[in-house]
């Protein structure tokens, strides 16, 4: 199960890999930003404000992806009492929250010149705001609940309840009339983003994923050190 | 131990199921408030014309924009029905014919909408201008 030896081994890997992930992140981010800000063409309709998309869309994807991962980890924590999953979930949450906020803010900045408004209470934007609130609730629950056993249970339940929102976010633009545009990348049909714009989008997504991994590793190591200092039986 | 796991699974399933049902019910009953705008067809099917502020959305019909002194008139269409919109004020840069638009304002009758605010709706197509031109030539 969750013994010192195992955790020590994991820590050895996670603490060492940080600098490599950091170097890789800087490289990919540099390529991604050069592509997104200078090399990629402007859009036929929105001209240069299309460049906001290269931050907005990857940030939203990562925010959704991390919450989905946290959902599986929380089910594992709650049902099977897995004693590592909640640590992973707790370490993932901050970067998911950050990217959720970035997606909301960049969306707002894009919305003003494109739509003509900073904010609209349409289904996509509101459901994304609800996701941010769930992230916030999750992070807060670790701060305010003292009892170790209850905080593990309650935080997992917050994620599981919030997970119902994930398909609503995904399909909000198909189910209802929204101001937000529909999906450009579809599984069943052709993508409606030109390839010269798809490449920087992909690289920026990779860069953001690496950044999440970096923050995750740092946070995870901090948690492990904290457990080590407190002694294992306290967990 | 195993029995406890089963109980916890049952608990989670009940929780998630009841939440999905309640969220579904709430969204279903609030459908007309969840949609950001009504299409011209929705307007046509309205039972009564209220005095509340609503939004109408669709495509700006080709060659329908006319500007006279301080008023701008255009037709919003969903390719089944259409509605005349009049507005005075500044419009977003992306507002143009054959593009999506959401107009916020008051319905005068089923064919005439007085807008107080215009939002441009962007579609899911992203491409450089050269590609757009070559698409247009085809």
In a domain, B132, yes or no: no
DSSP states along chain A: ---HHHHHHHHHHHHHHHHHHHHHHHHHHHHHHHIIIIISPPBTTTBGGGGGHHHHHHHHHHHHHHHHHHHHHHHHHHHH--TTHHHHHHHHHHHHHHHHHHHHHHHHHHHHHHTS-S----HHHHHHHHHHHHHHHHHHHHHH---HHHHHHHHHHHHHHHTTHHHHHHHHHHHS--SS---SS-SSS---B-HHHHHHHHHHHHHHHHHHHHHHHHHHHHHHHHHHHH-GGG-
In a domain, B128, yes or no: no
- Residue A95, φ and ψ in degrees, nearest 5: -70, -35
Specify whether B19 is located in the same domain as B67.
no
Report how far residue A166's alpha carbon sits from residue A133's, in angstroms, rounded to the nearest whole number: 13
Report how far residue A77's alpha carbon sits from residue A87's, in angstroms, rounded to the nearest whole number: 10
Which residue of B36, B57, B122 is in closest CB contact with A46?
B122
Number of domains in chain A: 1
Specify whether B58 is located in the same domain as B96.
yes
Asked if the Cβ–Cβ distance from B36 to A184 is below 8 Å, we say: no
Task: Kindly provide the ipTM of the predicted complex, given to two decimals.
Answer: 0.86
Pick the residue from chain B with its C-alpha nearest to A175.
B35
Q: What are the residues facing B117 on neighbouring strands?
A: B104
Specify whether B16 is located in the same domain as B53.
no
Angle at B9 between CA B8 and CA B11, to 5 degrees: 60
In a domain, B89, yes or no: yes
User: Which residues in chain A touch residue B31, judged by CB atoms under 8 angstroms apart?
Assistant: 176
Q: What local confidence, expressed as pLDDT, does residue A76 receive? A: 93
Question: Does position A1 have pLDDT exceeding 60, yes or no?
Answer: no
Asked if the Cβ–Cβ distance from B99 to A176 is below 8 Å, we say: no
Q: What local confidence, expressed as pLDDT, does residue A229 receive? A: 81
Which residue of B12, B92, B132 is in closest CB contact with A44?
B132
Question: Does position A235 have pLDDT exceeding 70, yes or no?
Answer: no
User: Which CATH number do you get for residue B101?
Assistant: 2.40.50.140
User: Which residues in chain B touch residue A78, judged by CB atoms under 8 angstroms apart?
Assistant: 8, 12
Pick the residue from chain A with its C-alpha nearest to B8.
A79
User: Which residues in chain B touch residue A160, judged by CB atoms under 8 angstroms apart?
Assistant: 12, 15-16
User: Which residues in chain A touch residue B37, judged by CB atoms under 8 angstroms apart?
Assistant: 177, 179
Mean pLDDT computed over every residue of chain A: 90
Percent of chain A exceeding pLDDT 90 equals 64
User: Which residues in chain B touch residue A194, judged by CB atoms under 8 angstroms apart?
Assistant: 126-128, 131
In a domain, B93, yes or no: yes
Q: What local confidence, expressed as pLDDT, does residue B96 receive? A: 84
For residues A78 and A55, is the Cβ–Cβ distance under 8 A?
A: no
Specify whether B52 is located in the same domain as B110.
yes
Contact of A108 with chain B, judged by CB distance below 8 Å, is answered with no
Containing structural domain, residue B10:
2-31
In a domain, B133, yes or no: no
* Kind of pairing between the strands at B66-68 and B54-60: unpaired
* Mean pLDDT by groups of 10 residues along chain B of 138 residues: 86 94 92 86 84 88 84 89 88 84 88 90 84 71
Specify whether B79 is located in the same domain as B103.
yes
Asked if the Cβ–Cβ distance from B36 to A41 is below 8 Å, we say: no
DSSP states along B31-88: HHHHSS-B-HHHHHT-SS--SS-EEEEEEEPTT--EEETTEEEEEEE-SS-EEEEEE-
Measured over the CA atoms of residue B78, residue B82, residue B83 and residue B85, the dihedral's sign is positive
Specify whether B43 is located in the same domain as B85.
yes
In a domain, B63, yes or no: yes
Residue B29 host element (H or E):
helix B2-29
Specify whether B22 is located in the same domain as B41.
no
Q: How many CB pairs under 8 A join A and B?
A: 113
Token pair belonging to A19: 């600098």
- SS3 for B102? strand
Report how far residue A95's alpha carbon sits from residue A107's, in angstroms, rounded to the nearest whole number: 18
Asked if the Cβ–Cβ distance from A120 to B119 is below 8 Å, we say: yes
User: Which residues in chain B touch residue A179, judged by CB atoms under 8 angstroms apart?
Assistant: 36-37, 102, 119, 121
Asked if the Cβ–Cβ distance from B129 to A42 is below 8 Å, we say: yes
For residue B51, the tally of other CB atoms under 10 A from its CB is: 7
How far off is chain A from B23, nearest CA to CA, in Å?
Answer: 9
Q: Which of residues A145 and A186 earns the better pLDDT score?
A: A145
How far off is chain A from B100, nearest CA to CA, in Å?
Answer: 9
Q: Which of residues B69 and A100 earns the better pLDDT score?
A: A100
Containing structural domain, residue A23:
4-234
Specify whether B45 is located in the same domain as B61.
yes
Number of domains in chain B: 2
In a domain, B57, yes or no: yes
What is the per-residue pLDDT across A201-224, written as a single tens digit (0 to 9) for each? 999 999 999 999 999 999 999 988
Report how far residue A61's alpha carbon sits from residue A100's, in angstroms, rounded to the nearest whole number: 9
Which residue of B23, B94, B128 is in closest CB contact with A42?
B128
Specify whether B95 is located in the same domain as B45.
yes
For residue B64, the tally of other CB atoms under 10 A from its CB is: 17
Q: What local confidence, expressed as pLDDT, does residue B92 receive? A: 83
Specify whether B27 is located in the same domain as B52.
no
Specify whether B66 is located in the same domain as B84.
yes
Asked if the Cβ–Cβ distance from A75 to B12 is below 8 Å, we say: yes
User: Which residues in chain B touch residue A53, judged by CB atoms under 8 angstroms apart?
Assistant: 126
Specify whether B27 is located in the same domain as B73.
no
Which residue of A79, A177, A196 is in closest CB contact with B128?
A196
Contact residues of B toward A, CB < 8 A: 5, 8-9, 12, 15-16, 19-20, 23, 27, 31, 34-39, 57, 91-95, 99, 102, 117-133
């Amino acid at each position: 199960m969750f013994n010192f030896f195992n955790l020590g081994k994991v820590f050895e890997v996670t603490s060492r890999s940080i600098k490599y992930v950091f170097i890789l992140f800087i490289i990919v981010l540099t390529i991604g930003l050069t592509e997104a800000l200078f090399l990629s063409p402007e859009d036929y309709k929105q001209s240069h404000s299309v460049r906001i998309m290269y931050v907005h869309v990857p940030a939203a994807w990562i925010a959704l992806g991390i919450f989905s991962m946290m959902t599986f980890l929380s089910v594992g924590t709650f049902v099977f009492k897995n004693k590592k999953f909640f640590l992973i979930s707790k370490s993932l949450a901050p970067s998911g929250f950050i990217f959720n906020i970035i997606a909301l803010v960049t969306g707002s900045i894009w919305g003003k010149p494109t739509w003509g408004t900073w904010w609209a209470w349409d289904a996509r934007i509101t459901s994304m705001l609800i996701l941010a609130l769930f992230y916030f609730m999750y992070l807060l629950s670790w701060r305010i609940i003292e009892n170790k056993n209850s905080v593990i249970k309650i935080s997992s339940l917050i994620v599981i309840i919030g997970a119902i929102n994930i398909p609503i976010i995904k399909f909000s633009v198909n189910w209802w009339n929204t101001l937000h545009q529909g999906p450009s990348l579809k599984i069943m049909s052709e993508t409606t983003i030109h390839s010269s714009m798809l490449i920087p989008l992909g690289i920026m997504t990779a860069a953001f994923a690496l950044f999440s991994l970096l923050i995750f590793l740092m946070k995870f190591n901090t948690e492990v050190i904290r457990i080590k200092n407190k002694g294992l039986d306290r967990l | 131990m195993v029995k406890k796991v089963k109980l916890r699974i049952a608990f989670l399933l009940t929780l998630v199921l009841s939440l999905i049902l309640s969220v579904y019910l709430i969204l279903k009953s609030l459908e007309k408030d969840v949609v950001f705008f009504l299409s011209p067809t929705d307007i046509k099917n309205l039972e009564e014309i209220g005095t509340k502020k609503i939004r109408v959305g669709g495509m700006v019909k080709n060659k329908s924009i006319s500007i006279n002194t301080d008023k701008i008139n255009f037709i919003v269409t969903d390719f089944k029905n259409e509605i005349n919109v009049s507005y005075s004020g500044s419009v977003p840069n992306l507002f143009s014919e054959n593009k999506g638009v959401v107009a916020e304002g008051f319905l005068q009758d089923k064919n005439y909408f007085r807008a107080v605010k215009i939002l441009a709706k962007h579609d899911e197509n992203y491409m450089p201008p050269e590609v757009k031109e070559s698409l247009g030539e085809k």
